[in-house]
Amino acid sequence: MRIRVISPTRAVFDGGAESVVAPAHDGEVGILRGHAPMVTLLGEGVMTVRGGGETQEFQVSRGFLQVLNDDVTVLAEQAAPL
């Protein structure tokens, strides 16, 4: 699935992944290929992206996460790789 992490100033990440775990406003949300469409409010914390034998982490803060047709888009007020 395709993952995009976007902050107001730049695209932080755009690539493929097998799974995503992100901080939602009311707890963590895990996303795998084939996930049902959804939109949730982001909380603050670490988002983990796993794929191709690698793990990448991003500090994200406030915004939205959308899942649609195996595309995950994160629009965050603040986002930075760790």
Reported as a single tens digit per residue, the pLDDT across 5-61 is: 999 999 999 999 999 999 999 999 999 999 999 999 999 999 999 999 999 999 999
Residue 17 belongs to some domain of the structure: yes
Reading the block at residue 38, the tokens are 């959804």
Find the radius of gyration of the CA atoms of the chain.
11
Q: Residue 60 domain-assigned?
A: no
Does any domain span residue 33? yes
Place of tokens 């993952």: 3
Asked, for residue 2, whether it belongs to a domain, the answer is yes
Structural domain contains residue 24:
yes
- Residue 7 lies in domain: 1-37
1 in a domain, yes or no?
yes
30 located within any domain: yes
How many separate domains does the chain show?
Answer: 1
pLDDT per residue as tens digits for the range 31-43: 999 999 999 999 9
Find, among 70, 69, 59, the residue nearest to 23 by Cα. 59
Task: Identify whether the C-beta of residue 16 lies closer than 8 Å to the C-beta of residue 26.
Answer: no
- Is 57 a domain residue? no
Amino acid at 30: G
